[in-house]
Amino acid sequence: MPRIRGAFTLFELLLVLLLIVISYGLFAQNFSVKSLEEESVKLEKLNLYLAKIGGDKNLISLRCIDNCNECRLLVNGKDINTTLNIFEKDNAVNAYYYDGRRLEKLVFDDYYINEYKREKVCFRLDVYPNGSSDELVLEYKRKAYLFENYIEDGRVFDSIASAQDFLEKYQLEARGR
């Protein structure tokens, strides 16, 4: 008559434990929270990313230099030695503000890395402690990204003309016309 075992061997227990750990690792990897670096590459969520970093007590500034090949983060005006790769090399980046009638191209002040070195800024976005941000339109890769002065996902348009049409319509609605 065969003998019935009442316990598992150590090898069987380790094998089951190993399978559980591997299964958990695969499952948890699919549902993990995205790191801030992953979110930062999406332009339509850029102001949300900056607001997360700053919380409700800090001014966060993004300064893109070197033909927008390097974007640096500043907290309360101090460089925190963090660079973000938002834009691809050799792609034109243009920023505009809406003056109430049309979009005007922005020219940003130079960024002083130290007292002896300064760089031309091709894009700048500030998020303030009160939860607002600069309001501007960014033209990049044949799309237009609208960063509104309150924090939410940016709007994406197929062209700079579409963004201007939206702003004109929005302003007319705000005036009650």
Instruction: Assign residue 144 the CATH number of its domain.
Output: 3.55.40
- Whether residue 11 lies inside any domain: the answer is no
31 pLDDT tier (thresholds 50, 70, 90): very low
Does the pLDDT at position 37 exceed 50?
Answer: no
- Whether residue 21 lies inside any domain: the answer is no
- Whether residue 4 lies inside any domain: the answer is no
The pLDDT, as a whole number, for residue 174 is 64
Q: 16 to each of 6, 26, 29, how far by Cα in Å?
A: 17, 16, 20
21 membership: H or E segment, kind and range:
helix 10-30
- Whether residue 107 lies inside any domain: the answer is yes
> At a CB cut-off of 8 Å and minimum separation 6, what does 79 contact?
72, 73, 113
- Whether residue 140 lies inside any domain: the answer is yes
- Whether residue 128 lies inside any domain: the answer is yes
Strands (E) located in the chain: 60-65, 70-75, 78-84, 93-98, 103-105, 111-114, 117-119, 121-127, 136-140, 143-147, 155-157
- Which range of residues forms the domain containing residue 159? 45-175
CA distance 102 to 62: 25
Number of domains in the chain: 1
What tens digit of pLDDT does each residue of 76-111 get?
Answer: 888 888 788 788 877 788 888 887 778 888 888 888
Q: 99 to each of 44, 66, 106, 122, how far by Cα in Å?
A: 22, 27, 11, 20
Does the pLDDT at position 75 exceed 50?
Answer: yes
The mean predicted confidence, pLDDT, of the chain is: 78
- Whether residue 5 lies inside any domain: the answer is no
- Whether residue 24 lies inside any domain: the answer is no
CA distance 113 to 85: 18
3 pLDDT tier (thresholds 50, 70, 90): low
Q: How many Cβ atoms sit within 10 Å of the Cβ of residue 129?
A: 14
Does the pLDDT at position 149 exceed 80?
Answer: no
Q: How many Cβ atoms sit within 10 Å of the Cβ of residue 175?
A: 7
Q: To the nearest whole percent, how much of the chain has pLDDT over 70?
A: 83
> At a CB cut-off of 8 Å and minimum separation 6, what does 85 contact?
41, 70, 71
Query: Considering the entire predicted model, what is its pTM?
Result: 0.67
The pLDDT, as a whole number, for residue 152 is 65
